[in-house]
Structure 1
Amino acid sequence: MNIVQSLPAKAGSGELAGRAAIVTGSTSGIGLGIARVLASRGAAIVLNGFGPVDAIMKEVNAISAEFGVGVRYDDADMSKPDDIARMIAAAEDHFGAVDILVNNAGIQYVAPIDEFPPEKWDQVIAINLSGAFHAMRAAARGMKSRGSGRIVNIASAHGLVGSPFKSAYTAAKHGLIGLTKVAALELAEQGITVNAVCPGYVWTPLVEKQIDDQARSHGIPREQVVRDVLLKKQPNKRFSTVEEIGGVVAFLCSKDAASITGTSISVDGGWTAE
């Protein structure tokens, strides 16, 4: 199964009108927030990820209706290179080009390094790092032929600093920032920028569930979990919003960011300033 549904391309309006963007891992959370912001600026969108088909198609139709842009859903598995190549090719065929690639897909697993299951290590690296490589490899070809393109990799504060028990995630995100730098150097003369965004904690349904789970397991109030556990390292003591992350991505895709490439932008409330 490849394409679940595709809505026709529409003109859209805004600074990104006429461009098409793939956002991986965008059926919920940060990725969906990024996709909605890009659509609000006029970009046609390819949503990608897993979840209940009815809920995904509700988002597809909502984005198209609200922003007047073409929206396509592709269920490519970001751990499978052939799926990724097919998704890029299908989007290019449908929209004529992939102008923007946002590598957002990612998973997490937490365990001490001596107890970390090897299969979980392989899975995290495959989706969080190798998936981004395969998507960049496929999308860069078309971007080079057109002499323009924007690639934004959603890394993490853990791409800049380490945390205990997150060996695979931290390794993958550090690797993603290194990959960002290499690709930026290689593609700079072709009019393609490659940057990374490094969020700290962002408010999503998954984080809300984590708060409830930790409050129960530690026997402490939700507010204490937020301040003393999750946001312990974020000096501003607040979650970023998916709209804030989307706004940074949209800026990096704009003409005003044409000379910004090979860099990592932290959106972490000051976490990595220490």
Structure 2
Amino acid sequence: MSLKSRTAVVTGSTSGIGLAIARAYAREGANVVINGFGDAADIEKERLGIEDEFGVKAFYSAADLSKADEAFNLVVEAEKTFGSVDILVNNAGVQFVSPVEEFPVEKWNLIIALNLSAAFHTIRAAVPGMKQRKFGRIINTASAHALVASPFKSAYVAAKHGIAGLTKTVALETATFGITANAIAPGYVWTPLVEKQIPDTAKARGLTEEQVKKDVLLAAQPTKEFVTVDEVAALALFLASDEARSITGTVIPVDGGWTAA
């Protein structure tokens, strides 16, 4: 596979799943735009590392995707910088857990804005250029929660179900333009963010860290193993390829069997 001459925009890509996807694209020759929050020095280290290791151009955008104009302009600026946006990965997201009657309105608004509306705004910015060039790959990071629900995650589940519907609609609208739109639906993925939550969860529940992993986080995954970021990135890489041109409008689980039941 080669993505030389392609440009990929990957949101929420300063760590975890997004960074793994950006690196996978760069490894195959694509220039990449990374985006997200974090320590400025760490982000610059990752950006330079991508350029040095893979010999491509890597651009960082600090756009706040919870704001519609910044999400839209992220794609506009990427097209100005590289001449095209060929691959768009909407990966940015945030989570909050609370009973629905106690769910803070500001948290609901943030989760819907970042996890769902941001994808709409980046897609509407990217599609005109993709149509003109007769090529585009839109890949949205959904979740097992795009297919099934869990208690206390009303905003997140609503947003991820919305991502599934948005993906299917965009796929139908762009099918005759060489554009595909698909969603990846991971289960629990082993990321630094998840790893950091385990000690606090263990303390709060009076469990060992191993019990938290197996009996809390992985309770729904029949494999009892975390999905790796590289596994998600490998699927995102394939979906960006020419060989995946007939795959569109799908929500593909990578969840250790979570949604099989």
Instruction: Return the TM-score normalized by structure 2.
Output: 0.99
Question: Which runs of at least 4 in structure 1 moved beyond 3 Å after TM superposition?
Answer: none
Give 1:150's aligned residue: 137
Give 1:5's aligned residue: none
- Cα deviation for residue 202 of structure 1 reads 0.4
Rounded Cα–Cα distance in structure 2 between residues aligned with 1:87 and 1:226 = 36
Rounded Cα–Cα distance in structure 1 between residues aligned with 2:72 and 2:260 = 38
Structure 2 alignment gaps of length 5 or more: none
Give 2:192's aligned residue: 205
Matches within 5 A, 1:93-242: 93-242=80-229
Rounded Cα–Cα distance in structure 1 between residues aligned with 2:74 and 2:251 = 26
Give, as a single letter, the amino acid of the residue that structure 1 aligns with 2:240: C
**Worse-matched range after superposition: 158-167 or 85-94:** 85-94
Give 1:54's aligned residue: 41
- Cα deviation for residue 41 of structure 1 reads 1.4
Give, as a single letter, the amino acid of the residue that structure 2 aligns with 1:131: A
Deviation track 1:141-165 (CA, whole Å, cap 9, x = no partner) reads: 1101111100000000000000000
Instruction: Return the TM-score normalized by structure 1.
Output: 0.94
Identity of aligned residues (%): 60
1:74 equivalent to 2:57? Answer no
- Cα deviation for residue 85 of structure 1 reads 2.1
Deviation track 1:203-258 (CA, whole Å, cap 9, x = no partner) reads: 01111111111111122211111111000000001111111100000000001100
Rounded Cα–Cα distance in structure 1 between residues aligned with 2:209 and 2:26 = 34
Give 2:12's aligned residue: 25
Give, as a single letter, the amino acid of the residue that structure 1 aligns with 2:148: V
- Cα deviation for residue 82 of structure 1 reads 1.3
Deviation track 1:76-97 (CA, whole Å, cap 9, x = no partner) reads: 1101121122211111111110
- Cα deviation for residue 38 of structure 1 reads 1.2
Give, as a single letter, the amino acid of the residue that structure 1 aligns with 2:109: D
Deviation track 1:89-130 (CA, whole Å, cap 9, x = no partner) reads: 111111110000000000001000000011111110000000
Query: Aligned to 1:72, what secondary structure does the other structure show?
Result: strand
Give 1:258's aligned residue: 245
1:91 to 59, 68, 78: 78
Query: Aligned to 1:150, what secondary structure does the other structure show?
Result: strand
Rounded Cα–Cα distance in structure 2 between residues aligned with 1:122 and 1:85 = 18
Deviation track 1:176-198 (CA, whole Å, cap 9, x = no partner) reads: 00000000000000100000000
Rounded Cα–Cα distance in structure 2 between residues aligned with 1:212 and 1:18 = 44
The two structures, once aligned, show a CA RMSD in angstroms of 0.8
Rounded Cα–Cα distance in structure 2 between residues aligned with 1:211 and 1:164 = 19
Give, as a single letter, the amino acid of the residue that structure 2 aligns with 1:15: S
Alignment coverage as a number of residue pairs: 261
Deviation track 1:23-65 (CA, whole Å, cap 9, x = no partner) reads: 0011111111111111111111000011111110000000111
Rounded Cα–Cα distance in structure 2 between residues aligned with 1:223 and 1:51 = 28
Give 1:65's aligned residue: 52
Rounded Cα–Cα distance in structure 2 between residues aligned with 1:124 and 1:16 = 32
Rounded Cα–Cα distance in structure 1 between residues aligned with 2:60 and 2:31 = 11
Give 1:6's aligned residue: none
1:244 equivalent to 2:231? Answer yes
